[in-house]
Amino acid sequence: MKISFAIAIATMKMYFRRSQSLFWSLFFPVVLMIGLGFYGFGEFSPSKLGVIDNAKNQYSKELIKAVSEKKYIEIEINTREKLDKKVLEGKIDSVLVIHDKYNHNNKEKITLEFEESKEIIAHAFQDTINSVIEIIDSKKTNNNTQNLSTKIKNNSNQGYKGFLVPGIVSLAIMQSGILGVVFTLISYKTQGVLRRLQATPISSAHFLIGQLASRLVIITIQTILLFIIGILVLKINIGQGSILAWVNILIFSLLGSILFLMIGLAISGASPNEDYAAPIANLITFPMMFLSGVFFENDVLPSWIKIIGQNLPLSPLVTGMRESSLYGTNTLDLLPELGLIILWIIICFIIGIKTFKWE
Distances (CA, A) of 143 to 110, 158, 277: 18, 43, 77
Q: Which of 110, 99, 169 is nearest to 145 (CA)?
A: 110
pTM (2 decimals)?
Answer: 0.70
- In this structure, the answer to whether residues 258 and 221 fall within a common structural domain is yes
Is the CA virtual torsion 129, 134, 138, 141 positive or negative?
Answer: positive
246: which residues sit within 8 A by CB, 6+ positions away?
A: 238, 239
**Residue 110 half-sphere exposure, CB side, CA atoms within 13 Å?**
25
- In this structure, the answer to whether residues 181 and 285 fall within a common structural domain is yes
CATH of the domain at 104: 3.40.1710.10
- In this structure, the answer to whether residues 288 and 212 fall within a common structural domain is yes
> What is the side-by-side order of every strand in the sheet holding 94-98?
73-77, 47-53, 94-98, 110-115, 148-153
- In this structure, the answer to whether residues 314 and 194 fall within a common structural domain is yes
| Other beta carbons less than 10 A from residue 253's beta carbon | 24
Q: What is the pLDDT of residue 259?
A: 93
- Given 128, 153, 178, the domain boundary residue is 153
Say how far residue 67 (Cα) sits from the centre of its chain: 32
Q: Report the alpha-carbon distance of residue 329 to residue 242 in Å, rounded.
A: 9
Q: Report the alpha-carbon distance of residue 4 to residue 211 in Å, rounded.
A: 8
- In this structure, the answer to whether residues 131 and 224 fall within a common structural domain is no
- In this structure, the answer to whether residues 333 and 306 fall within a common structural domain is yes
- Given 97, 129, 153, the domain boundary residue is 153
- In this structure, the answer to whether residues 22 and 163 fall within a common structural domain is yes
Q: Which of 213, 200, 218, 264 is nearest to 4 (CA)?
A: 213
- Given 122, 153, 184, the domain boundary residue is 153
Say how far residue 152 (Cα) sits from the centre of its chain: 27
Provide the number of structural domains found in the chain: 2
- In this structure, the answer to whether residues 256 and 308 fall within a common structural domain is yes
Q: Which of 253, 262, 257 is nearest to 321 (CA)?
A: 253
- In this structure, the answer to whether residues 223 and 266 fall within a common structural domain is yes
- In this structure, the answer to whether residues 180 and 226 fall within a common structural domain is yes
- In this structure, the answer to whether residues 250 and 126 fall within a common structural domain is no
Q: Report the alpha-carbon distance of residue 246 to residue 118 in Å, rounded.
A: 28
Question: Residues, the chain, total?
Answer: 359
Q: What is the pLDDT of residue 318?
A: 92
User: Which residue segment(s) compose the domain that 6 sits in?
Assistant: 2-39+159-355
- In this structure, the answer to whether residues 314 and 338 fall within a common structural domain is yes
- Residue 291 contacts residue 305 (beta carbons within 8 Å): yes
Mean pLDDT, consecutive 10-residue stretches, the chain (359 aa), reads 61 57 58 59 66 83 83 83 76 82 66 75 80 73 63 63 87 86 75 69 69 84 89 82 86 93 84 75 85 79 84 92 85 91 92 73
CA dihedral 210, 216, 222, 227 (to 10 degrees): -160
